[in-house]
Structure 1
Amino acid sequence: MRENTFQELENLPGLPFTKATRLGQVQFFHFGRAHVTNAQGLILDVGAWTLEVACFWQLEKAGKVAIAYQDAAIARDAQALANPDFDPLVPGSNLRDRKLQELVRQGETHVKVSKVTASPAGEVLISLGADLVLRVAPSQGIQKETTYFWRLFSNTGTNQTLAFGLDGAQPS
């Protein structure tokens, strides 16, 4: 995998992993800090850069899967008996959300982007220190009805965006 295949990814090294959010099955990884005001006038705490992922991803620790995209199908506090009210689409309800929140709570000094590599096929590896690697792999599976597999965008007013989909990379 080549380094710096996409120029926008060069903005991530040095930034801490500060937040993980989700909308349905689409995962958002936030790096650095920024504040934006939404249409209702609320000030939101977001990453300076956000990676929106609508394809297969996993977080690996020391080469082993620590958090997987598929963990969303498991209830946050898995029990011996299935809970009929469990809805994996509700943010915070599943094992994946719980594990990501625990990782964020480790603090900005422990989970910081040290290196980013990407391939022309859209595979992305983000090294987060402490033997942690976020692997984004569109070739392993994508969301249905998505216009792109992943998208990186700035929340700092620079309007920089890079989306990767069926037609490859589409920078802003």
Structure 2
Amino acid sequence: MNERNYIGQRLSALVGLDLSGVSYAADMLTLQFGPIREAPSRRGTIRHIGLWALHVQCHWRFEKDGRVLASYANFAISEDSIRETTQRMSEWIISSGPTRVESVAVDERADMALSLSRGFRLIVVPDCVEGDEDWRFFAPGTNGPHLVIEGGKIEPSSLS
């Protein structure tokens, strides 16, 4: 199996969808794609989820026209910096008009780039530390399979 093609094929579900939510959990960037809907959490609260979610726990950077606007380094500073960074990203991406996924590129190391409308781009670069989850792609609110990249490779349970 060609991992690069498999990852690209799975992520191709994002093409044509809007990046509709930006948030965080601890130092993990969480992104929602497609229409936002309400769904109950395990604790009984209401959460807002998209058709697809991308959770990033490795190096990433968010660019506009080749200029870095935000990165994982902003998440390494403090809780306030994380909150401010996700708020700014949300303003750039969501409040300023729709931002659609135009294309997905993946290389042999599971580096991933989402080219977005309006000149935006998200680049995700796995840390490649064995046993550490780099990023995860899934349909929230469903029992569907998760695509998990761990240590720069597809985590084997993602293939079942």
Q: TM-score range by the shorter chain?
A: 0.7 to 0.9
Matched, 1:113 2:101: yes
Q: Distance in 2 between matches of 1:167 and 1:56?
A: 12
> Which consecutive unaligned segments of at least 5 residues does structure 2 have?
none
SS across alignment from 1:149: strand
Unaligned regions of 5+ residues in structure 1, if any? Answer: 75-87
Distance 1:148-1:42 versus aligned 2 partners, 3 A rule: same
1:160 maps to 145
Q: Bigger relative contact order, structure 1 or 2, given CA contacts below 8 A and separation 6+?
A: 1
Alignment RMSD (CA, Å): 2.6
Q: State how far apart, in whole Å, the 1-side matches of 2:50 and 2:25 are.
A: 16
Q: Which residue of 2 aligns with 1:129?
A: 117
Matches of 1:167 and 1:106, distance apart in 2: 33
| 1:67-86 mapped onto 2 (5 Å cutoff) | 67-72=70-75
Shift of 1:71: 2.2
Quick one: which amino acid aligns to residue 26 of structure 1?
M
Residue 7 (structure 2) pairs with residue 19 (structure 1): no
After TM superposition, give the deviation of residue 35 of structure 1 in Å: 3.0
Q: CA deviation at 1:157?
A: 2.1
Change (3 A) 1:98 1:145: farther
Letter in 2 for 1:21: S
Instruction: Please show how residues 36-55 of structure 1 align to structure 2 within 5 Å.
Output: 36-55=39-58
Alpha-carbon distance in structure 2 between the residues aligned to 1:167 and 1:118: 12
Displacement of 1:64 after TM fit?
Answer: 1.4
The 1:93–1:65 alpha-carbon spacing in structure 2 relative to 1, beyond 3 Å, is: same
C-alpha change, 1:89 and 1:157, in structure 2 (3 Å) is same
Letter in 1 for 2:138: F
CA contact (8 A) 2:75 2:82 kept: no
Per-residue deviation, residues 114-158 of structure 1 (Å, max 9, x unmatched): 1011113110000111111100011xx47x896310000112525
Larger radius of gyration: 1
Paired residues, what number?
152
Where does residue 77 of structure 1 map in the other structure?
Answer: none
Structure richer in helix, relative to its length: 2
Counting aligned pairs with the same residue, the percent is 25
Q: Matches of 1:115 and 1:165 in 2, distance apart? A: 23
Letter in 2 for 1:119: D
